[in-house]
Chain A
Amino acid sequence: NAGVTQTPKFQVLKTGQSMTLQCAQDMNHNSMYWYRQDPGMGLRLIYYSASEGTTDKGEVPNGYNVSRLNKREFSLRLESAAPSQTSVYFCASTALSYEQYFGPGTRLTVT
């Protein structure tokens, strides 16, 4: 039982490059989330998916797109990376009791 997995763990991009962050969970959870964490800013919700087939914007969606590929997988895409997107990105999924389970994070640097 791996829980929530994220790839890659680290990534360096140049401004304007694109990339996709992958997330998968094996707990049969319906809801999945993408957050970013910046120093002094806590966690900010980028997008979430309440169930397979649905996605909704969170607090800071600009510059990102998401795909809920199936019940297990929820990817986050940066179409044209900017230095302001340098951050640590966390994927999470939620049990029926609202507990969130987090992945280990992707540390992204945009130069």
Chain B
Amino acid sequence: GNSVTQMEGPVTLSEEAFLTINCTYTATGYPSLFWYVQYPGEGLQLLLKATKADDKGSNKGFEATYRKETTSFHLEKGSVQVSDSAVYFCALSDSTGGFKTIFGAGTRLFVKA
């Protein structure tokens, strides 16, 4: 079945550092891939998405590229801010999973000033 594996946290960085959160997936079909972000006390919200191989999703300085050959969708940001402190979830959805989204376990990011 479909699955998502992302790096364990927490990840602690200083402001302006480079961020990478690794995500790999297993899927039988051709999934759409997503990164969601959850700020303290809130629900998840979509950060970015990619729907086919080699697509790059981007938003708020974050980027992720859909790599079919390595089944990966790593999240990157060139210069993190304190306000980026949150939990980040990698996820996939496709028609073979019915109408369900498969989420990774989440990676907590702390950014220090």
Contact = CB atoms under 8 A, between A and B. Distances in A.
Contacts of A99: 34, 46, 49
Given A42-B105, A42-B106, A98-B32, A103 B100 contact: no
Contacts of A105: 42-43
Main secondary structure of the interface of A (DSSP, over half): strand
A27 B75 CA distance: 28
Size bracket of the A interface: 20 to 34
A50 B98 contact: yes
Contacts of B99: 31, 48, 50, 94
Interface in B63-107: 89, 91, 93-94, 98-101, 103-106
Interface in A26-62: 31, 33, 41-43, 45, 48, 50, 56, 58
A45 B2 CA distance: 14
A102 B43 contact: yes
B101 A94 contact: yes
A84 interface: no
B107 to A, nearest CB: 10
Interface of B: 32, 34, 36, 42-46, 49, 51, 89, 91, 93-94, 98-101, 103-106
21 contacts: A31-B99, A33-B100, A42-B89, A42-B104, A43-B103, A45-B100, A50-B98, A50-B99, A58-B100, A92-B43, A92-B44, A94-B101, A97-B49, A97-B51, A98-B94, A98-B101, A99-B34, A99-B46, A99-B49, A100-B44, A105-B43
